[in-house]
A and B are shown apart, each in its own frame.
Chain A
Amino acid sequence: MRIVATVPSGERPLPAGFESLEPFVTYWAVAGQNERRHQRCDTTFEEIRRFYDAMLPRADAAMQHLSGFPLRDMPGPEARLMRLVLSLAQASMAVEVQGSARVPNAPWPDTVRILTEETL
Protein backbone atom coordinates (compact mmCIF):
# COMPACT_ATOMS: atom_id res chain seq x y z
CA MET A 1 0.00 0.00 0.00
CA ARG A 2 1.43 3.38 -1.01
CA ILE A 3 -0.26 6.40 0.55
CA VAL A 4 0.60 10.00 -0.26
CA ALA A 5 -0.79 13.45 0.45
CA THR A 6 -1.24 15.58 -2.64
CA VAL A 7 -1.20 19.36 -2.99
CA PRO A 8 -3.73 20.69 -5.54
CA SER A 9 -2.07 22.95 -8.11
CA GLY A 10 -2.27 26.59 -7.17
CA GLU A 11 -2.32 25.82 -3.43
CA ARG A 12 0.67 26.25 -1.19
CA PRO A 13 1.68 23.05 0.60
CA LEU A 14 1.66 24.61 4.07
CA PRO A 15 0.72 27.96 5.63
CA ALA A 16 3.31 30.76 5.47
CA GLY A 17 5.99 30.38 8.12
CA PHE A 18 6.07 26.57 7.93
CA GLU A 19 8.00 26.24 4.64
CA SER A 20 10.78 24.26 6.30
CA LEU A 21 8.33 21.37 6.79
CA GLU A 22 7.34 21.16 3.13
CA PRO A 23 9.61 18.21 2.30
CA PHE A 24 7.56 16.09 4.75
CA VAL A 25 4.11 16.86 3.35
CA THR A 26 3.85 14.11 0.73
CA TYR A 27 4.66 11.29 3.10
CA TRP A 28 3.42 12.51 6.50
CA ALA A 29 0.45 14.82 5.86
CA VAL A 30 -1.91 11.96 5.04
CA ALA A 31 -5.51 11.87 6.22
CA GLY A 32 -6.63 9.25 8.74
CA GLN A 33 -5.18 7.75 11.89
CA ASN A 34 -4.81 4.32 10.35
CA GLU A 35 -2.97 5.82 7.38
CA ARG A 36 -0.62 7.82 9.61
CA ARG A 37 0.13 4.72 11.65
CA HIS A 38 0.83 2.89 8.39
CA GLN A 39 3.31 5.58 7.32
CA ARG A 40 5.15 5.34 10.61
CA CYS A 41 5.36 1.56 10.38
CA ASP A 42 6.27 1.44 6.70
CA THR A 43 9.51 3.43 6.82
CA THR A 44 12.88 3.34 8.52
CA PHE A 45 13.79 4.62 11.94
CA GLU A 46 16.13 7.19 10.32
CA GLU A 47 13.30 8.63 8.22
CA ILE A 48 11.00 8.83 11.25
CA ARG A 49 13.75 10.50 13.24
CA ARG A 50 14.33 13.06 10.48
CA PHE A 51 10.64 13.99 10.51
CA TYR A 52 10.47 14.00 14.32
CA ASP A 53 13.49 16.29 14.63
CA ALA A 54 12.09 18.76 12.11
CA MET A 55 8.50 18.67 13.39
CA LEU A 56 8.94 18.71 17.15
CA PRO A 57 10.32 22.27 17.45
CA ARG A 58 7.48 23.56 15.21
CA ALA A 59 4.62 21.58 16.76
CA ASP A 60 3.58 24.13 19.35
CA ALA A 61 3.65 27.00 16.86
CA ALA A 62 1.68 24.88 14.40
CA MET A 63 -1.03 24.12 16.94
CA GLN A 64 -1.09 27.78 17.89
CA HIS A 65 -1.63 28.76 14.24
CA LEU A 66 -4.26 26.05 13.71
CA SER A 67 -6.27 27.03 16.77
CA GLY A 68 -7.73 29.84 14.67
CA PHE A 69 -9.40 27.39 12.25
CA PRO A 70 -12.31 24.98 12.68
CA LEU A 71 -10.91 21.50 13.26
CA ARG A 72 -13.12 19.82 10.67
CA ASP A 73 -13.11 22.49 8.01
CA MET A 74 -9.57 23.74 7.48
CA PRO A 75 -8.20 25.25 4.30
CA GLY A 76 -5.85 22.86 2.43
CA PRO A 77 -2.53 24.19 3.77
CA GLU A 78 -3.84 24.20 7.36
CA ALA A 79 -5.31 20.70 6.99
CA ARG A 80 -1.93 19.42 5.83
CA LEU A 81 -0.15 21.16 8.70
CA MET A 82 -2.61 19.60 11.15
CA ARG A 83 -1.88 16.16 9.71
CA LEU A 84 1.82 16.74 10.13
CA VAL A 85 1.19 17.54 13.78
CA LEU A 86 -0.88 14.39 14.21
CA SER A 87 1.82 12.32 12.50
CA LEU A 88 4.26 13.58 15.12
CA ALA A 89 2.27 11.61 17.71
CA GLN A 90 2.80 8.47 15.62
CA ALA A 91 6.49 9.22 15.03
CA SER A 92 7.01 9.76 18.76
CA MET A 93 6.12 6.13 19.47
CA ALA A 94 9.11 5.07 17.40
CA VAL A 95 11.49 7.72 18.75
CA GLU A 96 10.43 8.17 22.38
CA VAL A 97 9.03 4.76 23.23
CA GLN A 98 10.30 1.90 21.09
CA GLY A 99 13.67 3.15 19.90
CA SER A 100 12.87 1.47 16.59
CA ALA A 101 10.48 2.11 13.72
CA ARG A 102 8.00 -0.47 14.93
CA VAL A 103 7.22 -2.70 17.88
CA PRO A 104 10.31 -4.92 17.95
CA ASN A 105 9.71 -8.44 16.64
CA ALA A 106 6.16 -7.74 15.49
CA PRO A 107 5.38 -8.68 11.89
CA TRP A 108 5.05 -6.03 9.19
CA PRO A 109 2.78 -5.68 7.31
CA ASP A 110 0.30 -6.67 10.00
CA THR A 111 -3.47 -7.08 10.17
CA VAL A 112 -3.94 -4.26 12.67
CA ARG A 113 -6.42 -1.60 11.58
CA ILE A 114 -7.43 1.55 13.41
CA LEU A 115 -11.07 2.22 12.59
CA THR A 116 -12.35 5.70 13.32
CA GLU A 117 -15.78 7.24 12.95
CA GLU A 118 -14.37 10.32 11.24
CA THR A 119 -11.24 10.97 9.21
CA LEU A 120 -9.11 13.86 10.36
Chain B
Amino acid sequence: MRANFTQAAGLGTGPMSFEPYRTQAHFELERERIFRRTWLIMGRIEDVPNAGDYIVKEVEICNASILITRQASGAVKAFHNICSHRGNQVVWDTKGTRKTMFRCPYHNWTYGNDGKLLAVSDEKMFFNLDKKKCGLDSVQCDVWDGWIFINLNPDNRVSLREYLGSMGEFLSGIPYPNAHRSIRIQAYLKCNWKFLIDAFSESYHIPVLHSKTIGPTFSGKINPMSHLQNAEFFGPHHSISLFGNPDYKPEEAALVEKLAYAGMVSENVLAANQSQDTMDLRAHRSVNPAKSQTWSMDINEIFPNFHLDVAGGGFWTHEIWPITQDFSRYEMRFFVPKPETVREAFHQEHYIARLADVVLEDLANVERTHKGVAAGVKKQMHLQEHEVLIRRMLKLHEEFEESATLEEALKRCAWADSPDTAEPALEPVA
Protein backbone atom coordinates (compact mmCIF):
# COMPACT_ATOMS: atom_id res chain seq x y z
CA MET B 1 0.00 0.00 0.00
CA ARG B 2 1.19 3.49 -0.73
CA ALA B 3 2.34 5.19 2.46
CA ASN B 4 1.08 8.62 3.21
CA PHE B 5 2.95 11.21 5.27
CA THR B 6 0.99 10.41 8.41
CA GLN B 7 1.78 6.71 8.22
CA ALA B 8 5.38 7.32 7.22
CA ALA B 9 5.72 9.46 10.33
CA GLY B 10 4.59 6.49 12.40
CA LEU B 11 1.47 8.25 13.56
CA GLY B 12 -2.09 7.16 14.12
CA THR B 13 -5.05 8.73 12.40
CA GLY B 14 -7.49 9.30 15.28
CA PRO B 15 -8.64 12.66 16.65
CA MET B 16 -6.22 14.51 18.95
CA SER B 17 -6.96 15.95 22.38
CA PHE B 18 -7.17 19.70 22.95
CA GLU B 19 -5.94 19.40 26.55
CA PRO B 20 -2.29 20.29 25.85
CA TYR B 21 -3.43 23.65 24.51
CA ARG B 22 -5.46 24.71 27.50
CA THR B 23 -4.22 23.33 30.79
CA GLN B 24 -1.74 24.92 33.17
CA ALA B 25 -0.40 21.46 34.04
CA HIS B 26 0.72 20.98 30.44
CA PHE B 27 2.29 24.39 30.43
CA GLU B 28 4.36 23.54 33.52
CA LEU B 29 5.51 20.31 31.86
CA GLU B 30 6.52 22.23 28.75
CA ARG B 31 8.54 24.61 30.91
CA GLU B 32 10.39 21.88 32.81
CA ARG B 33 10.71 19.15 30.21
CA ILE B 34 11.00 21.11 27.00
CA PHE B 35 12.21 24.68 27.46
CA ARG B 36 14.53 23.99 30.39
CA ARG B 37 16.10 21.04 28.55
CA THR B 38 16.25 21.55 24.81
CA TRP B 39 18.56 23.74 22.78
CA LEU B 40 16.87 27.08 22.07
CA ILE B 41 17.48 29.48 19.20
CA MET B 42 18.96 32.87 20.08
CA GLY B 43 19.91 34.30 16.71
CA ARG B 44 22.53 34.41 13.98
CA ILE B 45 26.25 34.74 14.34
CA GLU B 46 25.90 37.90 12.19
CA ASP B 47 23.93 39.47 15.07
CA VAL B 48 27.23 39.70 16.94
CA PRO B 49 29.73 40.13 14.12
CA ASN B 50 32.62 41.70 16.05
CA ALA B 51 34.41 41.23 19.34
CA GLY B 52 32.52 43.21 21.97
CA ASP B 53 29.13 42.91 20.26
CA TYR B 54 26.23 41.55 22.29
CA ILE B 55 22.52 40.78 22.18
CA VAL B 56 20.04 40.10 24.98
CA LYS B 57 17.23 37.56 24.50
CA GLU B 58 14.31 36.69 26.71
CA VAL B 59 13.06 33.19 27.43
CA GLU B 60 9.96 34.29 29.29
CA ILE B 61 8.64 30.84 30.15
CA CYS B 62 11.83 30.21 32.17
CA ASN B 63 12.09 33.78 33.48
CA ALA B 64 15.43 33.91 31.73
CA SER B 65 17.17 36.91 30.25
CA ILE B 66 20.20 35.77 28.27
CA LEU B 67 23.21 37.88 27.39
CA ILE B 68 25.13 36.66 24.35
CA THR B 69 28.58 38.15 23.78
CA ARG B 70 31.27 37.89 21.15
CA GLN B 71 34.68 37.40 22.73
CA ALA B 72 38.01 38.78 21.54
CA SER B 73 38.86 35.17 20.60
CA GLY B 74 35.84 35.12 18.26
CA ALA B 75 33.95 32.69 20.49
CA VAL B 76 30.31 33.31 21.31
CA LYS B 77 29.35 33.03 24.99
CA ALA B 78 26.06 33.18 26.84
CA PHE B 79 25.30 34.27 30.40
CA HIS B 80 22.31 34.80 32.59
CA ASN B 81 21.76 38.54 32.58
CA ILE B 82 21.61 38.66 36.37
CA CYS B 83 23.83 40.70 38.63
CA SER B 84 25.67 38.82 41.38
CA HIS B 85 25.06 41.67 43.80
CA ARG B 86 21.31 41.80 44.29
CA GLY B 87 19.98 40.17 41.18
CA ASN B 88 19.14 43.08 38.94
CA GLN B 89 19.58 42.76 35.20
CA VAL B 90 23.04 43.90 34.21
CA VAL B 91 22.26 44.84 30.61
CA TRP B 92 19.09 46.82 30.01
CA ASP B 93 19.09 47.22 26.23
CA THR B 94 18.70 44.44 23.68
CA LYS B 95 21.87 44.83 21.64
CA GLY B 96 25.07 46.77 21.38
CA THR B 97 28.47 46.88 19.76
CA ARG B 98 32.08 46.97 20.86
CA LYS B 99 31.40 46.74 24.53
CA THR B 100 33.78 44.57 26.50
CA MET B 101 32.51 45.63 29.91
CA PHE B 102 29.03 45.74 31.40
CA ARG B 103 28.24 47.92 34.38
CA CYS B 104 25.10 47.06 36.32
CA PRO B 105 23.10 50.27 36.47
CA TYR B 106 21.91 49.60 40.04
CA HIS B 107 25.21 49.89 42.03
CA ASN B 108 27.87 49.76 39.32
CA TRP B 109 29.22 46.23 39.67
CA THR B 110 31.23 45.76 36.51
CA TYR B 111 31.66 42.58 34.46
CA GLY B 112 33.83 41.65 31.50
CA ASN B 113 32.09 40.25 28.43
CA ASP B 114 33.64 36.93 29.44
CA GLY B 115 31.43 37.02 32.54
CA LYS B 116 34.16 37.81 35.09
CA LEU B 117 33.36 40.31 37.83
CA LEU B 118 35.94 43.04 37.32
CA ALA B 119 35.06 45.73 39.83
CA VAL B 120 32.78 46.43 42.77
CA SER B 121 32.12 50.00 43.78
CA ASP B 122 32.86 50.78 47.43
CA GLU B 123 34.30 47.27 47.68
CA LYS B 124 35.91 47.82 51.08
CA MET B 125 32.50 48.05 52.72
CA PHE B 126 31.72 44.42 51.81
CA PHE B 127 32.50 41.47 54.07
CA ASN B 128 34.90 38.84 52.68
CA LEU B 129 33.59 39.22 49.17
CA ASP B 130 35.19 36.66 46.83
CA LYS B 131 35.01 38.40 43.49
CA LYS B 132 36.18 35.29 41.65
CA LYS B 133 33.00 33.53 42.65
CA CYS B 134 30.76 36.42 41.67
CA GLY B 135 30.93 36.34 37.90
CA LEU B 136 27.89 36.11 35.67
CA ASP B 137 26.43 32.61 35.49
CA SER B 138 27.34 31.07 32.19
CA VAL B 139 24.83 29.27 30.02
CA GLN B 140 25.71 26.49 27.56
CA CYS B 141 25.94 28.02 24.13
CA ASP B 142 26.91 26.63 20.74
CA VAL B 143 26.72 27.61 17.09
CA TRP B 144 25.51 25.42 14.24
CA ASP B 145 25.77 26.70 10.65
CA GLY B 146 25.74 30.27 11.93
CA TRP B 147 22.74 29.78 14.23
CA ILE B 148 23.33 30.49 17.92
CA PHE B 149 21.59 28.20 20.42
CA ILE B 150 21.61 27.96 24.21
CA ASN B 151 20.66 25.28 26.67
CA LEU B 152 19.29 26.35 30.04
CA ASN B 153 20.08 23.07 31.80
CA PRO B 154 23.47 23.56 33.51
CA ASP B 155 23.87 19.77 33.67
CA ASN B 156 22.96 19.18 30.04
CA ARG B 157 25.13 16.55 28.36
CA VAL B 158 23.60 16.48 24.88
CA SER B 159 25.62 18.60 22.45
CA LEU B 160 23.87 20.87 19.98
CA ARG B 161 25.04 18.64 17.15
CA GLU B 162 23.61 15.55 18.81
CA TYR B 163 20.40 17.41 19.51
CA LEU B 164 19.94 18.48 15.89
CA GLY B 165 21.03 15.02 14.75
CA SER B 166 19.99 14.07 11.25
CA MET B 167 18.12 17.39 10.83
CA GLY B 168 21.41 19.23 11.33
CA GLU B 169 23.06 17.09 8.67
CA PHE B 170 20.11 17.53 6.33
CA LEU B 171 20.24 21.33 6.49
CA SER B 172 23.96 21.82 6.90
CA GLY B 173 25.74 24.05 4.43
CA ILE B 174 22.77 26.07 3.22
CA PRO B 175 24.17 29.40 2.05
CA TYR B 176 21.96 32.02 3.69
CA PRO B 177 21.80 35.20 1.59
CA ASN B 178 21.75 38.49 3.55
CA ALA B 179 22.13 36.77 6.91
CA HIS B 180 23.54 40.03 8.27
CA ARG B 181 20.44 42.12 7.69
CA SER B 182 16.90 41.46 8.75
CA ILE B 183 13.53 43.05 9.31
CA ARG B 184 11.43 41.67 12.15
CA ILE B 185 7.71 41.46 12.58
CA GLN B 186 6.91 41.06 16.25
CA ALA B 187 3.59 40.53 17.98
CA TYR B 188 2.18 39.53 21.36
CA LEU B 189 -0.81 37.20 21.15
CA LYS B 190 -3.47 36.09 23.56
CA CYS B 191 -3.07 32.41 22.80
CA ASN B 192 -1.23 29.29 23.80
CA TRP B 193 2.08 29.16 21.90
CA LYS B 194 1.27 25.86 20.20
CA PHE B 195 -1.50 27.50 18.19
CA LEU B 196 1.24 29.61 16.63
CA ILE B 197 3.37 26.57 15.92
CA ASP B 198 0.36 24.95 14.24
CA ALA B 199 -0.51 28.09 12.27
CA PHE B 200 2.83 27.93 10.48
CA SER B 201 3.04 24.15 10.10
CA GLU B 202 0.37 23.35 7.54
CA SER B 203 -0.77 24.55 4.14
CA TYR B 204 -4.39 23.34 4.35
CA HIS B 205 -5.46 26.83 5.49
CA ILE B 206 -3.58 28.82 2.87
CA PRO B 207 -6.14 28.83 0.01
CA VAL B 208 -8.85 29.66 2.55
CA LEU B 209 -7.54 32.00 5.25
CA HIS B 210 -5.08 33.69 2.88
CA SER B 211 -7.34 33.65 -0.16
CA LYS B 212 -6.56 37.27 -1.00
CA THR B 213 -2.90 37.53 -0.03
CA ILE B 214 -0.91 34.38 -0.78
CA GLY B 215 -3.63 31.87 -1.59
CA PRO B 216 -3.12 32.28 -5.34
CA THR B 217 0.64 31.72 -5.10
CA PHE B 218 0.42 28.56 -2.94
CA SER B 219 -2.49 26.88 -4.67
CA GLY B 220 -3.77 26.69 -8.19
CA LYS B 221 -5.45 24.63 -10.86
CA ILE B 222 -3.24 21.57 -10.42
CA ASN B 223 -3.25 21.73 -6.60
CA PRO B 224 -6.28 23.67 -5.39
CA MET B 225 -5.91 22.58 -1.74
CA SER B 226 -2.22 23.39 -1.51
CA HIS B 227 -1.22 19.80 -0.71
CA LEU B 228 2.30 19.28 0.61
CA GLN B 229 4.91 18.25 -1.91
CA ASN B 230 7.20 16.48 0.50
CA ALA B 231 7.79 15.73 4.16
CA GLU B 232 10.93 14.57 5.96
CA PHE B 233 11.13 13.54 9.59
CA PHE B 234 14.23 13.76 11.77
CA GLY B 235 13.72 12.80 15.40
CA PRO B 236 11.93 15.74 17.01
CA HIS B 237 12.55 17.98 14.00
CA HIS B 238 10.90 17.96 10.58
CA SER B 239 10.77 19.56 7.17
CA ILE B 240 7.93 19.99 4.68
CA SER B 241 7.83 21.41 1.17
CA LEU B 242 4.97 23.52 -0.10
CA PHE B 243 3.47 23.81 -3.53
CA GLY B 244 3.98 26.94 -5.61
CA ASN B 245 1.53 27.89 -8.32
CA PRO B 246 3.44 28.11 -11.62
CA ASP B 247 0.54 30.05 -13.18
CA TYR B 248 0.55 32.87 -10.61
CA LYS B 249 0.44 36.37 -12.08
CA PRO B 250 -0.41 39.58 -10.27
CA GLU B 251 -3.97 40.62 -10.93
CA GLU B 252 -4.52 43.17 -13.67
CA ALA B 253 -5.48 45.77 -11.13
CA ALA B 254 -2.42 45.20 -8.94
CA LEU B 255 -0.56 48.14 -10.44
CA VAL B 256 1.59 48.88 -7.42
CA GLU B 257 2.61 45.23 -7.13
CA LYS B 258 3.69 45.31 -10.77
CA LEU B 259 5.58 48.53 -10.23
CA ALA B 260 7.31 47.09 -7.16
CA TYR B 261 8.40 43.96 -9.00
CA ALA B 262 9.24 45.75 -12.26
CA GLY B 263 12.99 45.59 -11.73
CA MET B 264 12.99 42.11 -10.25
CA VAL B 265 13.78 38.82 -11.85
CA SER B 266 12.69 36.79 -8.88
CA GLU B 267 11.43 33.34 -7.99
CA ASN B 268 7.98 34.27 -6.73
CA VAL B 269 6.15 36.95 -4.77
CA LEU B 270 7.87 35.90 -1.59
CA ALA B 271 11.22 36.91 -3.04
CA ALA B 272 13.35 39.38 -1.17
CA ASN B 273 16.20 38.84 -3.59
CA GLN B 274 16.91 38.81 -7.27
CA SER B 275 16.86 35.32 -8.72
CA GLN B 276 20.57 35.34 -9.56
CA ASP B 277 21.40 35.99 -5.88
CA THR B 278 19.71 32.83 -4.66
CA MET B 279 21.14 30.33 -7.15
CA ASP B 280 23.44 28.69 -4.58
CA LEU B 281 20.58 28.53 -2.13
CA ARG B 282 18.28 26.76 -4.57
CA ALA B 283 21.03 24.37 -5.62
CA HIS B 284 21.46 23.01 -2.07
CA ARG B 285 20.48 19.32 -1.81
CA SER B 286 18.00 19.95 0.99
CA VAL B 287 16.33 23.04 -0.40
CA ASN B 288 13.30 21.74 -2.27
CA PRO B 289 14.61 18.24 -1.41
CA ALA B 290 12.23 16.52 -3.82
CA LYS B 291 13.46 18.96 -6.53
CA SER B 292 9.87 19.55 -7.53
CA GLN B 293 9.09 21.80 -10.47
CA THR B 294 6.14 23.27 -8.60
CA TRP B 295 7.83 24.14 -5.34
CA SER B 296 7.46 27.35 -3.36
CA MET B 297 9.18 26.90 -0.01
CA ASP B 298 10.37 24.55 2.72
CA ILE B 299 9.31 24.82 6.33
CA ASN B 300 12.08 23.41 8.52
CA GLU B 301 11.03 23.10 12.13
CA ILE B 302 13.63 22.77 14.83
CA PHE B 303 12.06 21.55 18.04
CA PRO B 304 10.52 23.14 20.01
CA ASN B 305 9.88 26.65 18.67
CA PHE B 306 12.06 27.60 15.71
CA HIS B 307 11.03 27.54 12.05
CA LEU B 308 13.68 28.10 9.43
CA ASP B 309 11.85 28.64 6.16
CA VAL B 310 13.61 28.61 2.83
CA ALA B 311 12.10 29.76 -0.46
CA GLY B 312 13.46 30.36 -3.92
CA GLY B 313 13.75 34.06 -3.14
CA GLY B 314 15.46 33.88 0.23
CA PHE B 315 14.83 32.73 3.78
CA TRP B 316 13.10 33.80 6.97
CA THR B 317 12.49 32.46 10.45
CA HIS B 318 9.71 32.25 12.99
CA GLU B 319 10.38 32.13 16.72
CA ILE B 320 7.46 31.33 18.97
CA TRP B 321 7.92 31.99 22.67
CA PRO B 322 5.43 31.05 25.37
CA ILE B 323 5.01 33.66 28.08
CA THR B 324 2.09 32.24 30.01
CA GLN B 325 -0.33 29.44 29.22
CA ASP B 326 -2.47 31.83 27.16
CA PHE B 327 -0.04 34.55 26.09
CA SER B 328 2.82 34.31 23.62
CA ARG B 329 5.45 36.29 21.77
CA TYR B 330 5.88 35.79 18.07
CA GLU B 331 8.82 36.98 16.04
CA MET B 332 9.29 36.60 12.34
CA ARG B 333 12.57 37.64 10.83
CA PHE B 334 13.10 38.30 7.12
CA PHE B 335 16.64 38.41 5.85
CA VAL B 336 16.75 41.03 3.14
CA PRO B 337 19.39 42.87 1.15
CA LYS B 338 20.24 46.46 1.97
CA PRO B 339 18.39 48.62 -0.56
CA GLU B 340 20.64 50.98 -2.48
CA THR B 341 18.05 52.71 -4.66
CA VAL B 342 14.55 54.06 -4.12
CA ARG B 343 13.19 51.31 -6.38
CA GLU B 344 14.82 48.64 -4.21
CA ALA B 345 13.49 50.30 -1.06
CA PHE B 346 10.03 50.42 -2.64
CA HIS B 347 10.16 46.72 -3.49
CA GLN B 348 11.24 45.89 0.05
CA GLU B 349 8.47 48.03 1.56
CA HIS B 350 5.93 46.20 -0.61
CA TYR B 351 7.42 42.80 0.26
CA ILE B 352 7.29 43.43 4.01
CA ALA B 353 3.86 45.11 3.84
CA ARG B 354 2.42 42.04 2.13
CA LEU B 355 4.04 39.69 4.63
CA ALA B 356 2.77 41.75 7.54
CA ASP B 357 -0.75 41.37 6.16
CA VAL B 358 -0.31 37.63 5.64
CA VAL B 359 1.07 37.15 9.11
CA LEU B 360 -1.71 39.25 10.58
CA GLU B 361 -4.26 36.97 8.94
CA ASP B 362 -2.63 34.13 10.87
CA LEU B 363 -2.17 36.07 14.09
CA ALA B 364 -5.73 37.33 14.41
CA ASN B 365 -6.77 33.77 13.78
CA VAL B 366 -4.74 32.10 16.52
CA GLU B 367 -6.46 34.24 19.15
CA ARG B 368 -9.84 33.12 17.84
CA THR B 369 -8.72 29.49 17.86
CA HIS B 370 -7.44 29.78 21.40
CA LYS B 371 -10.74 31.20 22.54
CA GLY B 372 -12.66 28.40 20.90
CA VAL B 373 -10.50 25.69 22.40
CA ALA B 374 -10.29 27.30 25.85
CA ALA B 375 -14.08 27.23 26.06
CA GLY B 376 -13.69 23.55 26.89
CA VAL B 377 -16.69 22.57 24.81
CA LYS B 378 -14.75 20.51 22.29
CA LYS B 379 -12.65 17.61 23.50
CA GLN B 380 -10.60 16.92 20.40
CA MET B 381 -9.66 18.00 16.91
CA HIS B 382 -9.64 16.13 13.61
CA LEU B 383 -6.47 16.32 11.59
CA GLN B 384 -6.02 15.46 7.94
CA GLU B 385 -3.03 14.17 6.03
CA HIS B 386 -1.59 17.60 5.23
CA GLU B 387 -1.76 18.64 8.87
CA VAL B 388 0.69 15.86 9.71
CA LEU B 389 3.11 18.16 11.51
CA ILE B 390 0.50 19.11 14.10
CA ARG B 391 -0.19 15.48 14.90
CA ARG B 392 3.52 14.86 15.04
CA MET B 393 4.20 17.84 17.29
CA LEU B 394 1.65 16.64 19.85
CA LYS B 395 3.18 13.17 19.86
CA LEU B 396 6.69 14.60 20.26
CA HIS B 397 5.52 16.70 23.18
CA GLU B 398 4.19 13.57 24.82
CA GLU B 399 7.57 11.87 24.44
CA PHE B 400 9.40 14.83 25.95
CA GLU B 401 6.94 15.25 28.76
CA GLU B 402 7.18 11.60 29.75
CA SER B 403 10.99 11.53 29.71
CA ALA B 404 13.21 12.06 32.72
CA THR B 405 16.05 13.53 30.65
CA LEU B 406 16.74 15.00 27.22
CA GLU B 407 18.75 11.87 26.35
CA GLU B 408 15.72 9.73 27.09
CA ALA B 409 13.42 12.04 25.13
CA LEU B 410 15.64 11.84 22.06
CA LYS B 411 15.81 8.05 22.36
CA ARG B 412 12.05 7.85 22.63
CA CYS B 413 11.72 9.93 19.49
CA ALA B 414 13.62 7.33 17.48
CA TRP B 415 10.29 6.24 15.96
CA ALA B 416 10.13 9.70 14.53
CA ASP B 417 13.21 9.32 12.36
CA SER B 418 12.00 8.09 9.01
CA PRO B 419 14.70 7.67 6.41
CA ASP B 420 12.20 6.55 3.75
CA THR B 421 10.66 9.33 1.83
CA ALA B 422 6.91 9.22 2.05
CA GLU B 423 4.63 9.74 -0.86
CA PRO B 424 1.67 11.92 -0.13
CA ALA B 425 -1.69 10.25 -0.25
CA LEU B 426 -3.72 11.89 -2.96
CA GLU B 427 -6.77 10.16 -1.56
CA PRO B 428 -7.09 9.64 2.18
CA VAL B 429 -5.79 6.19 3.07
CA ALA B 430 -8.37 4.08 4.88
- CA A111 – CA B209 in complex, angstroms? 20
Count chain A CB atoms within 10 A of each CB in B186, B352, B353 and give the residue with the most.
B353
Give the contacts of A88-120 with B (CB-CB under 8 A). Answer: 88-93, 95-99, 103, 105-107, 110-117, 120
Question: Closest Cβ of chain B: how far from A7's Cβ, in Å?
Answer: 20
Give the contacts of A31-66 with B (CB-CB under 8 A). Answer: 33, 36-37, 40, 52, 56, 59-60, 63, 66
Query: Nearest CB to that of A106 among chain B residues?
Result: B364
Question: Which of the segments B129-137, B255-263, B289-297 contacts the partner chain?
Answer: B255-263
CB pair B255–A56 under 8 Å, yes or no, is yes
Count chain B CB atoms within 10 A of each CB in A60, A71, A98 and give the residue with the most.
A71
- CA A91 – CA B212 in complex, angstroms? 15
Give the contacts of B3-28 with A (CB-CB under 8 A). Answer: none
Query: Which B residues touch A112, using CB under 8 A?
Result: 185-187, 356, 359-360, 363
Query: Nearest CB to that of B342 among chain A residues?
Result: A66
- Give the number of chain B interface residues (Cβ < 8 Å): 39
Question: Which of the segments B104-112, B176-184, B194-202 contacts the partner chain?
Answer: B176-184
Query: Nearest CB to that of A63 among chain B residues?
Result: B342
Query: Which A residues touch B255, using CB under 8 A?
Result: 56, 92, 96
Q: Tell which of B212, B346, B350 touches A99, judged by Cβ atoms closer than 8 Å.
A: B212
CB pair A115–B345 under 8 Å, yes or no, is no
What are some 9 contacts across the A-B interface (CB < 8 A)?
A63-B346, A92-B255, A93-B354, A93-B357, A96-B253, A97-B212, A97-B254, A111-B189, A114-B184
Q: Tell which of B186, B345, B364 touches A82, judged by Cβ atoms closer than 8 Å.
A: B345
Query: Which A residues touch B189, using CB under 8 A?
Result: 111
- CA A101 – CA B233 in complex, angstroms? 41
Give 9 new A-B contacts, CB below 8 A, not counting A92-B257, A97-B254.
A33-B349, A67-B342, A92-B350, A97-B357, A98-B357, A99-B212, A103-B364, A106-B361, A112-B185
Question: Closest Cβ of chain B: how far from A83's Cβ, in Å?
Answer: 10
- Say if the beta carbon of A25 comes within 8 Å of chain B: no
- Say if the beta carbon of A86 comes within 8 Å of chain B: yes
Question: Closest Cβ of chain B: how far from A17's Cβ, in Å?
Answer: 16
CB pair A89–B185 under 8 Å, yes or no, is no
Interface on B for A, CB 8 Å cutoff? Answer: 181-189, 212-213, 251, 253-257, 259-260, 339-343, 345-346, 349-350, 352-354, 356-357, 359-361, 363-364, 367
Query: Nearest CB to that of B333 among chain A residues?
Result: A115
- Say if the beta carbon of A30 comes within 8 Å of chain B: no
CB pair B259–A60 under 8 Å, yes or no, is yes
- CA A63 – CA B189 in complex, angstroms? 38
- Say if the beta carbon of A29 comes within 8 Å of chain B: no
CB pair A90–B364 under 8 Å, yes or no, is no
- Say if the beta carbon of A14 comes within 8 Å of chain B: no
CB pair B360–A110 under 8 Å, yes or no, is yes
Query: Which A residues touch B251, using CB under 8 A?
Result: 96
- CA A113 – CA B356 in complex, angstroms? 9
Interface on A for B, CB 8 Å cutoff? Answer: 33, 36-37, 40, 52, 56, 59-60, 63, 66-67, 71, 82, 85-86, 88-93, 95-99, 103, 105-107, 110-117, 120
CB pair A103–B357 under 8 Å, yes or no, is yes
- CA A56 – CA B255 in complex, angstroms? 8
Question: Closest Cβ of chain A: how far from B208's Cβ, in Å?
Answer: 13
Query: Which B residues touch A113, using CB under 8 A?
Result: 184-187
Query: Which B residues touch A92, using CB under 8 A?
Result: 254-257, 260, 350, 353
Query: Which B residues touch A82, using CB under 8 A?
Result: 342, 345
CB pair B341–A71 under 8 Å, yes or no, is yes
Question: Closest Cβ of chain A: how far from B189's Cβ, in Å?
Answer: 7
- CA A82 – CA B346 in complex, angstroms? 9
CB pair A67–B364 under 8 Å, yes or no, is no
Query: Nearest CB to that of B254 among chain A residues?
Result: A96
Query: Which B residues touch A67, using CB under 8 A?
Result: 341-343
Count chain B CB atoms within 10 A of each CB in A37, A56, A60, A112 and give the residue with the most.
A112
Q: Tell which of B187, B353, B363 touches A89, judged by Cβ atoms closer than 8 Å.
A: B353
- CA A97 – CA B269 in complex, angstroms? 13
Query: Which B residues touch A111, using CB under 8 A?
Result: 187-189
CB pair A63–B343 under 8 Å, yes or no, is yes
- CA A110 – CA B212 in complex, angstroms? 20
Query: Which B residues touch A90, using CB under 8 A?
Result: 349, 353
CB pair A106–B363 under 8 Å, yes or no, is yes
- CA A82 – CA B349 in complex, angstroms? 12
CB pair A106–B360 under 8 Å, yes or no, is yes
